[in-house]
Amino acid sequence: MSKSGLNFLSARCRLLAMNKMHAIGGQTARSGGPTPPEDSARAIRGALLGRSLVLVGMMGSGKTSIGQRLAQRLGLPFKDADAEIVAAAAGMSIPDIFAKYGEAHFRDCERRVIARLLAGEPCVLATGGGAFMDETTRARVKERGVSLWFDAAHDVLLRRVRRKGDRPLLQTSDPAAVLRRLMDERYPVYRQADIAVLSRDVPHEVMVEETVTALLAWAVGAPESATTQGFTRFMTSRTPPAPIEPQTVEVGLGDRAYDIVIGAGLLEQAGEHLARIAPGAACAIVTDANVARLQLPVLRHSLERSGIRTTSIIVEPGEGSKSFPVFQRVCEDILEARIERRDVVLALGGGVVGDLAGFAAASVRRGSRFVQVPTTLLAQVDSSVGGKTGINTPQGKNLVGAFYQPSLVLADVDALATLPLREFRAGYAEVVKYGLIDDAFFFEWLENNASAVFADRAARVEAISVSCRSKAKIVARDETEQGDRALLNLGHTFGHALERLVHYDSERLVHGEGVAIGLVSAFRFSASLGLCSLQDAERVGRHLTRVGLPTRIRDIPGWRDDADAMLDAMFQDKKVERGALTFILARGIGRSFVAKRIEVDAVRSFLKDEIARE
């Protein structure tokens, strides 16, 4: 069997293993057998060392309903901070406290109540949604407790809180938008919790079992065993992260084959990798101002430690840098630095930097050696692999460029730690795309393990590796997009048109968000043509919504364009042949195909319906 075949089977075995860690019945990965309830409770109480288990998360995440049952299971008393505040206010409800005294007064009461409860006997303590946002409270929790975050998707939370209608922060005309804003603000802080469990719409008893499994994994100090059925994950800042075994994916292009190395700490090792593939070479690093501040010093130190002469070329962040003027400046700066053909042009950043630097590398001296060090999830799974480079024009995105393969790709998952949540979500849309193209198993794995991918380095390495293998396989078959490489554009005909119509304004829409809307649109369009079931389209939409991505055209802020404007933008797509539209459509999840010469009237009718869809 070929090396690539063994790699593919190896990845499948790892995915299967992660899916086999069942929470129901209290299984632990270390023992492989069930832990009796009284033994698991004793083990967890012992690991708490007299501290309280503090539940944090958004309103509606289940802190009270699950917490009460969890406390009973663990043999600990249950305390509810909100209930204590109400009792201290002589029975005045929380909405009334907000209305009469304001949020600042309520937060002060909350801070004092939590401090008092943490100073008492060990318990399971449910806190309000905003409590963990307070720095003083977080410090007290760290000192006197172990924090557990009940993570829940936007649609799940919205459905739950609408049942009650007693949440003061959601008393607005658009509670869904307010809830999403609160999630964007709070989730980066919630991720500081010691343990996180995905709260989902299953019986409370199931959630208790999954939570107990996560607590057992935390108690025995086994991060790898905390991914149970993909819904639970271990997160801690109290112990150093476990070492991550790097994975290597080969892009098989004959004498131009190259490796994609995926792992942790690769920026610190970049000098060793470059010295191996380009001994004695100098290096021009192209990056943007944001990445330069966060990642450039580490990379430069690594290269210089290996004796590599470096020069840095810094551009402004954003799609605006994929332009003729910036491209000209980068080329001139590379020449000014006396970078020769056997030297290296290195792209450090996201897709914009990779596309720009790659096109410059392809052009300067008619081709210089090129290395990609992607620092966004989107770039690690998509734009850094396969050799597409280019810049934008007023007519559309990536319409001027070249196919130019790198000599090496280093995908450091540690670089993703500084990525804003919105950008990580955007990259995740491209990960989902690979499951939808031809790997239904991978899509199902993502449905079960999305939370782990967002929080756990090992799960990220796995998701990125599978994505890169999928792309590498297609690129090796069709490097210059004469055939099925077009499959990689699933969702992009819609997505690129949306980006063009918002004038590449990242405040309104970033690329991955356009892809997310495009993926759902492609499946809904396929369903409208009778190619796949509407249930498949809805399943895709549910998963993307769950992680916080937009899935409807009307989710784009300030959208005012009509179907004809969308069509006009689509006709600038690179896949248009002899004036006819080409789409990537689907006969089901994992069964995508290239569909040529789609009737314009069918597209127009579908777009009218989609733009109107609430």
Q: Which residues are catalytic?
A: 366, 388, 430, 471, 481, 485, 489, 492, 496, 511
CA pair distance 148, 55, nearest whole angstrom = 5
* Residue of 127, 136, 135, 140 lying closest to 57 (CA atoms): 127
Residue pair 282/334 in contact (Cβ under 8 Å)? The answer is no
CA pair distance 528, 598, nearest whole angstrom = 13
Q: At what angle do helices 81-88 and 103-118 cross, to 10 degrees?
A: 110
What are the CA-CA distances from residue 246 to residues 202, 264, 346, 509, 614 (Å)?
Answer: 35, 7, 21, 33, 44
Q: Give the SS3 label for residue 285.
A: strand
Q: Which residue has the tokens 């934008």?
A: 392
Amino acid present at 496: H
* Residue of 249, 211, 273, 245 lying closest to 41 (CA atoms): 211
Which strand (E) or helix (H) includes residue 330? helix 324-336
Q: Concatenated DSSP letters for 394-409?
A: TTEEEEEEEE---SEE
Beta bridge partners of 372: 347, 409
CA pair distance 486, 504, nearest whole angstrom = 22
CA pair distance 296, 288, nearest whole angstrom = 10
Which strand (E) or helix (H) includes residue 146? strand 145-151
Class of residue 38 by CB neighbours under 10 A (exposed 0-12, middle 13-18, buried 19+): exposed
Q: Alpha carbon 477 to chain centroid distance?
A: 28
A 10 A CB-CB count for 539 gives 16
> How big is the CA angle at 396 (ends 382 and 581), to the nearest 5 degrees?
85
Q: State the alpha helices, DSSP H only, in 364-491.
A: 377-378, 421-438, 440-455, 457-477
Beta bridge partners of 311: 284
